[in-house]
Amino acid sequence: MRPNLTIASSPDPLGGHPSGGDSTGGLQEAIARGEADADTIAARADALLGEQRRLLIGGELVEASGGRTFPSISPWTEEEIARVPDADAGDALRVVDAACAAAPAWAAVPLPDRVRLVQRAADVLEERLDDFAVLDTADAGSPIRLTLQDGRAAVEAVRRLAGIAPELRGSTIPATDNLHLTVREPYGVALRIVAYNHPFMFAATKIAAPLLTGNTVIIKPSELAPLSALLMGEVLQDVFPPGVLSVVTGRDAALPRALVRDPRVRRIGFIGSAPTGRSIQRDAAEGAVKHVTLELGGKNALIAYPDVDPAEVARAAVEGMNFTWSGQSCMSTSRLLVHEAIADEVVAHAVEIIEARRLGSPFDPRSEQGTIVSRGQHDRILGLIDRAVAEGARIRTGGRRPDGGDRGLVIPPTVLDMVRPGQTVEQTEVFGPVLSVIRWGDQDDPVAIANGVQYGLTANIWTNDVTRALTVARRLEVGYVWVNGWPRLYAGVPFGGVKNSGVGVEDALEELESYTTSKSVNVIFRRG
């Protein structure tokens, strides 16, 4: 039975049908005016959750074979809020058949026309941003202010990729006095499997590069937060020709494994955990030689030298930890490697900032942190905190359910001090709101500590010595570095990791290139 997410009845300041098409800025503006509170936003979610969601296969909205469904569980109420189509290997065959059938005609569409259709898709998605945000808040427990922010970022990213798509081109090579050139061609069918921490943003942005480069694309969202991706399929049903875009959901590994192993799916992009990424590599190799890119986890370090302002480091550490997403972010700077000369001040400032943050319902626009996505992940995080304490770490704040909290899978922002290199919490990606503080002195090498994990996604360096900053940046085994900055991504700058953090980069021209193959053409002139 689906519960009512509304705590108390309240009029809807937005008016109209909750899934109406003219919502751009509506909810954001209502929040700014103080006219949208937790109850009205939850009521809007209830209306959306009452609508049946279906798969998009071959241009049609369909149920999974046999009408199978699985429950979507709210991390705020821990109750069922919707039924989700539970596709299996048979449905995987259906969707790949449809994508393959559509691939030749889509590849033949001139690039300017593909760009126009992708831009049209961005416009259509923008009209429903409020609905995507509300569904993500209900489904994943992310704060409503942040899911609205995700929606805007997604539309901007799609438009940005569409704008740079014409930069994708081949080349001519002066190998001889004949004509030697390269052309870029699509793979055919591309599969994107995305994570739960930014459900709509990932679903929307990760279809853009495959579509722009002439591939048909199948999107498979996480079973933990699939609702906004299914709505995206409905909204975009008539934007692209049948089979060009497909959206499928499934509860277990049968669906993604069948898609990954299908030899006709030659290009795969995955966002998620390192163990699942390695499993995808193995399964892909079972079907054929494929191009697989992986955006995986991180155990990211912020290295603070003693020549910087402790208050600035503390703010960067708190912001970089992504406590707003309950730490459920691959790029969270979850290890604070701080010189012992400033460590006490940094930790004190960080605790002060954290304890002033507001926790509450993810539907409350005032909330600054959401829930953990599932009971299993919630209990795993608490278990890692307990183990850290047993291994000698000290809790400076957080670490247990907030006082008076009787609802939701909420773990308050937690600072673990006196963590030592090699301990479980220092090596393991917690994927929760846990910041580990590792103190180091003049005899220690913080770069070696930062590199001493299996991951290599991001790092942040704080120092006023430019030579040191650039030297450390070169030594760090990561794919993305900030120096004296607040952790964020920048438009057009390639993002990706090394080691067990992944293969390949995204959010730039390189992502578009990765969805094409290069073909060399040699024209031999017949002379005389």
What is the DSSP secondary-structure string of 138-162? HHH---HHHHHHHHHHHHHHHHHHH
- List alpha helices for 308-430, DSSP H: 310-320, 340-355, 375-390, 424-427
Residue 84: C-alpha distances to residues 55, 154, 221, 408 (Å): 9, 23, 12, 21
The answer to whether the beta carbons of residues 408 and 363 sit under 8 Å apart is no
Token pair recorded at residue 172? 């001519």
Q: How far apart, in whole angstroms, are the C-alpha atoms of residue 28 and residue 211?
A: 30
Can you tell me whether residue 519 is helix, strand or coil? strand
Look at phi and psi of residue 422 and say left if phi exceeds 0, alpha if psi is from -120 to 50, else beta. Answer: left
Token pair recorded at residue 70? 């699985």
Token pair recorded at residue 41? 């936003």
The answer to whether the beta carbons of residues 311 and 344 sit under 8 Å apart is no
Rg (CA), the chain: 24
Query: β-strand 60-62 against 55-57: which pairing, if any?
Result: antiparallel
Residue 100: active-site member = no
Identify which of 446, 449, 385, 444 has the alpha carbon closest to the alpha carbon of residue 417.
385
State the catalytic residue, choosing from 223, 234, 295, 506: 295
Q: How far apart, in whole angstroms, are the C-alpha atoms of residue 233 and residue 19?
A: 14
Q: How far apart, in whole angstroms, are the C-alpha atoms of residue 396 and residue 489?
A: 29
Residue 295: active-site member = yes
Q: How far is CA 381 from the centre of its chain?
A: 19
Residues 142/145/150/156 CA torsion (nearest 10 deg)? 180
The DSSP symbol for 76 reads T
Residue 271: C-alpha distances to residues 73, 262, 277, 355, 502 (Å): 22, 19, 8, 32, 9
State the catalytic residue, choosing from 330, 426, 429, 511: 330
Q: How far apart, in whole angstroms, are the C-alpha atoms of residue 258 and residue 236?
A: 25
| Bridge partners of residue 70, in order along the sequence | 84
Active site residue ranges: 295, 330
